Structure 1
Amino acid sequence: MAFEMKGWLKAAAMVGLAGAAFAPHAAVAQSPEEFFAGQLVTILIGHPPGGSFDAYAQLAAQHYGKYIPGNPTVVVQSMPGGGGNVAAAYFANRAPRDGTMIALLPESLATLQLLDPEVSRWDMNEMRYIGSFADVTSVMAARAEAPAKTLDEMKATVSNVSCSGRTTTSAQAGAIFAHFTGAQYNMVCGYDSATASVLAVFRGEADMTTTVWTSWNSNYKAELDSGAVVPILQFGLERLPDLPDVPTAIELVEDQAQKDALAFFAAGGDLGRALLAPPGIPDDRFEALATAFDELVKDEQLLADAQTRGLPIAPKNAAQMADVLSKILGASPDVVALLNEAREAGFE
């Protein structure tokens, strides 16, 4: 039924329409520089201070702001728990999505999402990597007095392997390897961090543990140089240049399906220590952060600081990271199923 709008109602409607027209335009028109100016940008990490996550986050916080449009202040926030999973769940579901919070989280999130979707309270399909500082490779090292260091010795002798949460890469690496090879590992999980797991080896509470080579080489170089701890196994796709005589787990298994499963497990290392943007971040702000990252990793002062701290810089940009992530998320269901079987059986 047609009707005539009253004059005052018509005027109010016109004002409302004008406001609706101008308000979105004003929000959209705000440039990344205008948005980030005066802001505090937080890098969220899921581990306590002292490890490689904190080291790279602090390095970024020191230099990143001068390359982000508007030059915001950048700080680090630690939210430990569940080997980084608590922070990952928070970041995916509750953190600001406007660009004021980014994250440096475990490289295993995409892998774990396929292996254990019920535990993984995030969807890596919804998040984008800003860029990676460097690849990471998990390395198992044993104390000098450990009763077993070779595969044959580990098959014959029970070794106590310290680890934090069972969902962490360091814990799962040992469990998977034990299942595939018959190595006799007593997985002693429950330490509150990778640092605590390493200290358990130094105290003699455990025979060996796994953490990323970056942490071994930067935080425990004196112990490595003295022979107090000895690298015995690495979980990368190939041997690290620093460890040419230490075998990879892939080399020590004979079955091709197991090799494929270990390769999938190691693929997260190609993501490395990387900055991650939250779901729903506006595209222009993501692009601004990604472009700033590309400039950051060329900064001479950052490179000098990284060298002083023993932190390798071998960056990947956002496009390269998207390619790596896509390959992980597209893994064969058969490979995922086999790795899941090994992951669960290795803790029994």
Structure 2
Amino acid sequence: MKTEKILGRSLAAMLAGVCLASYAPSARAEVDFAGKTVEFVIPFAESGGSARWANFFAPLLSEALPGNPTVVVRYRPGGGSTTGANWFQRQTTDDGTLIFGPSGSTQFPYLLDDPRVQYEYDDWQVVLASGVGGVAYLPPELGAKFDGDADDLKGIEFIWGAQGATGLDLVPNLAWKMLGMNVQPVFGVEGRGAGRLMFERGEANIDYQTSPAYLKSVVPMVEAGRAVPMMSWGALDDEGNIVRDPSFPEIPTFKEVCEATEGCETSGVAWDAWKAFFISGFAAQKMVFLPKTASAEVVAAYEKAFKDIIARPDFAELSESTLGAYPQMTGKGAEKAKVMATKVPAEAKAFVIKWLQDDYGVSLK
């Protein structure tokens, strides 16, 4: 699809070139958070990748913001993250003591005109955008059947814990459908961490986690022989092509597995839709926002704080086991990432809306 290819190339170029260079100038007036508490709200439970991501940045942000405020992570799960996002839309805090950290599971309902959505991304002021990856994995007895294609997995009944049909979990759901696998989601889990716990208890026999949670909670299971990686969603190169995830270069991508699986195509409307939502949901999946009421000085102070964090000489080492090797964008880079994450081509949107209705009975009208 021409539009989607343009999006892919634009986003890949943006990720490669503006992560740190494009950044707003220093604060125009002095902002001091001394003695204050900043609430870093995420619309998920405290056991998933968003919690891991927020808790990584919280103490670093406390050190970097002027006045060294206490930064506390709060959780507002519900509605596949739409409950917390609707709440944030109503907030009028203007002093920088409230920031919000949604993810692709918040972006997708917005993109698909989900009736639960009462929030508007155009109202929110972005100060950080984080790229992220994702890895699907199997229990060892099923992992032994996987040899780079999904052909030997097609006759198996899979169960997994999913947040909702219109959230970020639509990326794996569509991938498994394209592979011809029989994967039945159990909708309603509050965060990917809850889905992982279902896998650990034997209530699910397939799962995926975003990179922060996979690195922390799934890699130990893999090392202990209790899980086998199946595929990553991949990453984008400078030309907008799907390549191996830099955090998991030994794991094949969904594109590779699809190409090796009978009946799965990496061209056509299904592939174009999958890739468009992958770009929206993963290449700039997690962002930090201030309310629309926050002053320009507060926004600039946060942008400088995040720029300083990313520029720390020990940042790569600190973030390696938590965030993986993904871009962290501020200023204009974050603004461009926000646009890419909240827009998809009309054809991809139409395909996904029809698929959700046909497969899950989810009507978004």
- On whether the aligned pair clears a TM of 0.5, the verdict is yes
Matched, 1:109 2:106: yes
How far residue 67 of structure 1 moved from its aligned partner, in angstroms, is 2.2
Q: Contact 1:175/1:342 (CA < 8 Å) preserved in 2?
A: no
- Residue aligning to 2:141: 145
TM-score, normalised to structure 1, is 0.81
Structure 1 gaps, min length 5: 1-29
- Residue aligning to 1:128: 125
Q: How far, CA to CA, are the matches of 1:33 and 1:97 in structure 2?
A: 12
How far residue 330 of structure 1 moved from its aligned partner, in angstroms, is 3.8
How far residue 157 of structure 1 moved from its aligned partner, in angstroms, is 2.4
- Written as runs of structure 1 = structure 2, the 5 A alignment for 1:149-228 is 149=146, 150-170=149-169, 172-228=170-226
Q: Contact 1:112/1:120 (CA < 8 Å) preserved in 2?
A: yes
- Residue aligning to 1:234: 232
Give the root-mean-square deviation of aligned CA atoms: 2.6
Q: How far, CA to CA, are the matches of 2:195 and 2:46 in structure 1?
A: 14
Q: Contact 1:138/1:210 (CA < 8 Å) preserved in 2?
A: yes
Residue deviations 1:290-320 (CA, integer Å, cap 9, x gap)? 111100222356555434x543364212311
Q: How far, CA to CA, are the matches of 2:315 and 2:330 in structure 1?
A: 17
The secondary structure found in structure 1 opposite 2:151 is: helix
Residue deviations 1:9-34 (CA, integer Å, cap 9, x gap)? xxxxxxxxxxxxxxxxxxxxx94425
How far residue 270 of structure 1 moved from its aligned partner, in angstroms, is 1.6
* C-alpha distance 110-199 of structure 1, shift in aligned 2 (>3 A): closer
Q: 1:264 aligns with which of 258, 263, 276?
A: 276
Task: Mark the structure with the bigger radius of gyration.
Answer: 1
* C-alpha distance 153-102 of structure 1, shift in aligned 2 (>3 A): same
Q: How far, CA to CA, are the matches of 2:68 and 2:59 in structure 1?
A: 12
Identity %: 20
Query: What is the one-letter code of the residue matched to 2:140?
Result: A
Q: Contact 2:175/2:254 (CA < 8 Å) preserved in 1?
A: no
Q: How far, CA to CA, are the matches of 1:250 and 1:125 in structure 2?
A: 36
Q: Contact 2:38/2:72 (CA < 8 Å) preserved in 1?
A: yes
The secondary structure found in structure 2 opposite 1:186 is: strand
- Residue aligning to 1:100: 97
Query: What is the one-letter code of the residue matched to 1:105?
Result: P
How far residue 344 of structure 1 moved from its aligned partner, in angstroms, is 3.8
Larger helix proportion of the pair: 1
* Greater RCO (Cα-Cα under 8 Å, separation 6 or more): 2
Once the two structures are overlaid, the 10-residue window that deviates more, 67-76 or 143-152, is 143-152
Query: What is the one-letter code of the residue matched to 1:159?
Result: F
- Residue aligning to 1:77: 74
Residue deviations 1:163-222 (CA, integer Å, cap 9, x gap)? 23334313x223322443432112122333322211221222111012213211222222
The secondary structure found in structure 1 opposite 2:66 is: coil
* C-alpha distance 131-334 of structure 1, shift in aligned 2 (>3 A): same
* C-alpha distance 38-301 of structure 1, shift in aligned 2 (>3 A): farther
Structure 2 gaps, min length 5: 1-27, 235-241, 259-263
Structure 1 residue ranges (4+ consecutive) displaced by more than 6 angstroms after TM superposition: none
